[in-house]
Amino acid sequence: MSPGAALDGRQRRFLRALAQPRRAVVQVGGAGITPGVVAAVGAALLEHELVKVRFHEPDDKRGSAAAIAEACDAHLCGVVGHTVILYRRHPETPRIALPGAGSRARRSE
C-alpha cells in the first residue's frame, strides 16, 4: 500500500478490531488540536502505527477527527464515542499487515 492510498472498508474494520483492546495514548483537552498534540500523535503513530486518541468533549467529533488525521498524515479508521482511531504505516518497518484490497475468501458451493 502506498502512503497516500486510501483504506478500504475491510482494512478499516480490521484496524478497528485491532484497536479495540488498546487504550488511548493521547488525550486532547479543552485547548483542542495544538502543535503539541499533533507532535504527540505523530510520535505515537511512528511507534505503534495504530493509536487511539481521546477527545474531551469536542464540539464537532467528526470534524476534529478529520482534522487530527489530516494534520498527522494518518488514516482515520473510526470514531467511537469521543475516541478516534488513527493508522499510519511505518515508513521503514511496518508491523501491521493489512488484508489485501478486494481479496475476499470465496465460499465453496
Q: What kind of fold does domain 9-87 have according to CATH? A: Translation Initiation Factor IF3 (3.30.110)
Which is higher by pLDDT, 30 or 84? 84
Domain ranges (residues) in the chain? 9-87
User: Please, which residues have CB within 8 angstroms of residue 95's CB and are 6 or more apart in sequence?
Assistant: 49
pLDDT exceeds 70 at position 93: yes
pLDDT exceeds 50 at position 108: no
The predicted-structure confidence for 48-75, as pLDDT tens digits, reads as follows 999 999 999 888 889 999 999 999 999 9
pLDDT of the residue at 57: 82
Separation between Cα atoms, residue 35 and residue 43, nearest integer Å: 12
* Length of the chain as a residue count: 109
pLDDT of the residue at 73: 95
- Three cell numbers written together for 90: 511505518
User: Please, which residues have CB within 8 angstroms of residue 59's CB and are 6 or more apart in sequence?
Assistant: none
pTM, entire model: 0.85
φ, ψ for residue 45, nearest 5 deg:
-65, -40
Q: Is 94 helix (H, G, I), strand (E, B) or coil?
A: coil
- Mean pLDDT value of segment 30-55: 94
pLDDT of the residue at 101: 57
Q: Which amino acid is at 55?
A: F
User: Please, which residues have CB within 8 angstroms of residue 91's CB and are 6 or more apart in sequence?
Assistant: 3
Q: pLDDT exceeding 70 applies to what percent of the chain?
A: 88
pLDDT of the residue at 105: 43
